[in-house]
Amino acid sequence: MNYLRKELYELIKSDESIFDFIQESSLDGLWYWDLENMEEEWMNPKFWTTLGYDPTKMPHKASAWQDIIFPEDLALAVENIQKHLADPSFPYHQEVRYRHKNGSTVWIRCRGLAIRDKSGKPTRVLGAHTDITQLKRKEQLLLETNRAARVGAWELDLENNTVFWSEITKEIHEVSPGFQPDLATGINFYKEGKSRETITNCIDAAIAEGTSFDVELQIITAKKKELWVRAIGQSEFRAGACQRVYGVFQDIENKKQAETKLQESEEQFRQTFEQAVVGMTLVDKKGTWIKVNDSFCKLVGYSRAELLKSGYKNLVHPDDLKQSNEELTQFAKGEVEVYLKEKRYIHKDGHILYFIIGVSKVVDAHGRIQQFVAQYSDVTERKLAEQKLFQSELQFRETFENAIIGLGLVNKVGEWTTVNNSFCKLVGYNRVELKGLTFRDLTHPEDLDKTVVQLNELATGKRNIFFQETRFIHKSGKTIWLVIGVSKVLDGNGKVLHYVAQYSDVTERKEAEEKARKYSILEAKSKEMEQFAYITSHDLREPLTTLKGYLSLLLEEFSADMSEDAKDILQFSIEGANRMDELIHGLLGYSRLSQVKTLETVDCNKIIRDVLADLSVSIAKNDVTFDIMPLPIIQGYPLEVKLLFQNLISNAIKFRKKEQNPIIKISHQVTSSGWQFQLADNGIGIEDSENERIFHIFQRLNKQDYEGTGIGLANCKKIVELHNGEIWVESELGKGSTFYFSILTRD
């Protein structure tokens, strides 16, 4: 024996304080139990201080500790001590729990040794306590951590051919805490196929070559649940032979599920991205395209490689680039939440594309931006259609505004919602005055019903459009004639939105028609009159001739027997009858003028010569001077033309000024459609107001001073009109008159 050991043993025997030191400093309690008197037991002070009690107040009785040990542990202790008492080779060695005075649990490792008498009968038991509470707490903590992480331990002891599974390893396998695995059952938990093959190979290799492993495999638990686990193993070799293989076993089902989910969602994203009908790009934080899909390539006409090389800046319309960059920066900084914009891009072939671009952020678990996903919807067609529509609306507005005919949009209650300038001019109201007025206010009352019926038919779909002549009342109160065309504009459901009305002014035409109608009535009446005049004058001539004959006979045969007065009366009667004869003659001539004749070539110079010859007596008597330029040869009616010149020349002589000899000038001009003649005199002239009247039959101005019938100029007018011409006079009272007439019979 070592001399120091021997010395220490001797010292302990001789000096009590040495033993006291040992037990106080190296143990947490010492007890010594009397088996022959089981109630008696000595406990050292540390025994009680460890459990929180004052040693001076504690009795040296076995019941003292039996009261504070956990009852289930007491049963275990009793069982163990009996085994040890019966068999010294069975160690009294256990972990038990005591209730500390403050209520907490104190874990005590308790070792005991039976002291036996010479016959081997145990008489005393010596026991020692170690406080393992801290250790136990750490163990518990580790267990809980492992449970939370679902990490267990395992060991394959090749020396003893046993398998150890930790509590958590058992929990993962869903077996009871008392389950005792062996190598074969352990391996059989792995899912048949790849998992089982892998673990078998791993274990084999670990045993044979010491290869460690770390694999993710699937097991089927005792409750038939499929689980992903991670098995880590390594081996321990002694003298070239594998002693044990041990390692960690972890339930990674959640992680695997998360991984699978991630993979699935990544795959989903990839497929969505690739197969999306809209264009999509994946952009990194610097704005560089890292991915573009097929649809986007098609939209912009570039290949993927071209796009990834060039980037978006070359594609954005130059006018939009600056703003786009600013907006994207704002969005990336989080100053704006949403990026949804309409932008112009340039297609590879140069044409403009209109995109609605939506950008979303891809963030990591901490909310930090990783990438951007941009989506491009092509709205070019819609945009172009919109532009076209705008253009055509513009065109329509311009056409509408500048149309020569009146145009108006009329709503369902008949108000004008929009009108153009022409319409305002037509009805005399401006746009402000028209506000609130309906077509009923302006339509002539007699035409209103007709319009309402037509409009109803339009509204109910009996017709799509209507045209009609309608009278409107102009602002001035005058009636105007309009041709109105109305069509309807329908909404998407076929309901009338409003009406489009066009208004053409036909007042002039209508008035002309009216004039013509009245004229034709007048003409018929005047024809009738002429007929009547002809018949009457014809029939009057015979009795007048008889009357004239008898009056002349009376004067010739019986004047010798008559007083002077009677002769005068007779003379007046004859003159009256002669005037009447002249009148009837003239009237007859006038009536005859209307009869249909044939055109002949007429030499106006010859006509004038004949007239002057016929009037030679009067010409000579009045000492008339003529200034006649050569006249044309015309197409006309010779007798009538002669009568025309004769009337005008004889009037020029008749209405001469008393103190002045007549001078008569006759001339003509060739016009585009015939000839115009002038016959000027230096006679008494005509008042302006009478210029028209003198051409009407029986109208005479100077009845007292000049004889006449008032038929001459009416005849002239009729003759000129027979030749499709016109006759008029320009005159100054006291200075003379010029008669103009035109002959339009030249073909």
Q: Which of 175, 359, 643, 684 binds ligand ADP (CB under 6 A)?
A: 684
Q: Which of 112, 709, 723, 725 binds ligand ADP (CB under 6 A)?
A: 709
- Nearest-angstrom CA–CA distance, 80 and 73: 10
Question: What's the min distance (Å) between Cβ of 723 and ligand ADP?
Answer: 18
Is residue 619 near ligand ADP by the rule CB under 6 A?
no
Q: Which of 708, 722, 723, 725 binds ligand ADP (CB under 6 A)?
A: 708
- Nearest-angstrom CA–CA distance, 251 and 263: 20
By CB under 6 A, which span of 9-17, 67-75, 349-357, 676-684 interacts with ligand ADP? 676-684
How many of the chain's residues bind ligand ADP (CB under 6 A)?
21
Q: Are 148 and 244 in contact (CB under 8 A)?
A: no
Is residue 279 near ligand ADP by the rule CB under 6 A?
no
Question: What's the min distance (Å) between Cβ of 528 and ligand ADP?
Answer: 22
Q: Are 427 and 507 in contact (CB under 8 A)?
A: no
Helix axis angle for 604-614 and 638-654, nearest 10°, is 50
Is residue 585 near ligand ADP by the rule CB under 6 A?
no
- Nearest-angstrom CA–CA distance, 244 and 207: 8
Using CA atoms, how far residue 718 sits from 324, 444, 636, 654, in Å, is 89, 41, 13, 21
Judged by beta carbon, residue 127 or residue 683, the one nearer ligand ADP is 683
Q: Are 63 and 39 in contact (CB under 8 A)?
A: yes
Residues ≥6 apart with Cβ < 8 Å to 81: 92, 112, 125
Q: Which of 700, 730, 738, 745 binds ligand ADP (CB under 6 A)?
A: 700
What is the DSSP code string of 706-738? S---S-HHHHHHHHHHHTT--EEEEEETTTEEE
233 burial (CB, 10 Å; 0-12 / 13-18 / 19+) is: buried
Question: What's the min distance (Å) between Cβ of 737 and ligand ADP?
Answer: 5
Question: What's the min distance (Å) between Cβ of 650 and ligand ADP?
Answer: 8
Q: Which of 357, 371, 347, 284 is nearest to 324 (CA)?
A: 357
- Nearest-angstrom CA–CA distance, 462 and 459: 8
CA-based R_g, the chain, Å: 71
By CB under 6 A, which span of 159-167, 455-463, 613-621, 694-702 interacts with ligand ADP? 694-702
Q: Which of 194, 192, 362, 344 is nearest to 265 (CA)?
A: 362
Q: Are 470 and 510 in contact (CB under 8 A)?
A: no
Question: What's the min distance (Å) between Cβ of 732 and ligand ADP?
Answer: 11
Question: What's the min distance (Å) between Cβ of 578 and ligand ADP?
Answer: 15
Is residue 276 near ligand ADP by the rule CB under 6 A?
no
Question: What's the min distance (Å) between Cβ of 713 and ligand ADP?
Answer: 4
Is residue 152 near ligand ADP by the rule CB under 6 A?
no
By CB under 6 A, which span of 63-71, 157-165, 206-214, 703-711 interacts with ligand ADP? 703-711
Helix axis angle for 16-26 and 3-14, nearest 10°, is 100
- DSSP H helical segments within 191-252, as ranges? 194-209
Which amino acid is it at 323?
Answer: Q
Is residue 694 near ligand ADP by the rule CB under 6 A?
yes
Q: Which of 737, 741, 742, 743 binds ligand ADP (CB under 6 A)?
A: 737
Judged by beta carbon, residue 305 or residue 733, the one nearer ligand ADP is 733
- Nearest-angstrom CA–CA distance, 642 and 411: 69
Question: What's the min distance (Å) between Cβ of 696 and ligand ADP?
Answer: 9
Is residue 710 near ligand ADP by the rule CB under 6 A?
yes
By CB under 6 A, which span of 366-374, 481-489, 592-600, 683-691 interacts with ligand ADP? 683-691
Using CA atoms, how far residue 183 sits from 156, 157, 238, 474, in Å, is 7, 10, 20, 115
Judged by beta carbon, residue 605 or residue 702, the one nearer ligand ADP is 702
Per CB under 6 A, contacts with ligand ADP among 625-664 are 647, 651-652, 655
End-to-end Cα spacing for the chain: 174
Question: What's the min distance (Å) between Cβ of 703 and ligand ADP?
Answer: 7
Judged by beta carbon, residue 29 or residue 712, the one nearer ligand ADP is 712
Buried b (16+ CB within 10 A) or exposed e, 518-550: eeeeeeeeeeeebeebbeebeebbeebeebbee
Question: What's the min distance (Å) between Cβ of 627 and ligand ADP?
Answer: 16
Q: Which of 96, 220, 299, 686 binds ligand ADP (CB under 6 A)?
A: 686
Q: Which of 131, 447, 505, 681 binds ligand ADP (CB under 6 A)?
A: 681
Q: Which of 712, 741, 742, 743 binds ligand ADP (CB under 6 A)?
A: 712
Q: Which of 128, 127, 108 is nearest to 35 (CA)?
A: 127
Q: Are 683 and 701 in contact (CB under 8 A)?
A: no
Question: What's the min distance (Å) between Cβ of 677 and ligand ADP?
Answer: 14
Question: What's the min distance (Å) between Cβ of 669 and ligand ADP?
Answer: 21
Q: Which of 511, 430, 513, 426 is nearest to 472 (CA)?
A: 426
Judged by beta carbon, residue 298 or residue 579, the one nearer ligand ADP is 579
Judged by beta carbon, residue 302 or residue 590, the one nearer ligand ADP is 590
Judged by beta carbon, residue 80 or residue 647, the one nearer ligand ADP is 647
8-37 footprint of ligand ADP as x/- string (CB under 6 A): ------------------------------
**Could you list the residues that contact ligand ADP (CB under 6 A)?**
647, 651-652, 655, 681, 683-684, 686, 694, 699-702, 708-714, 737
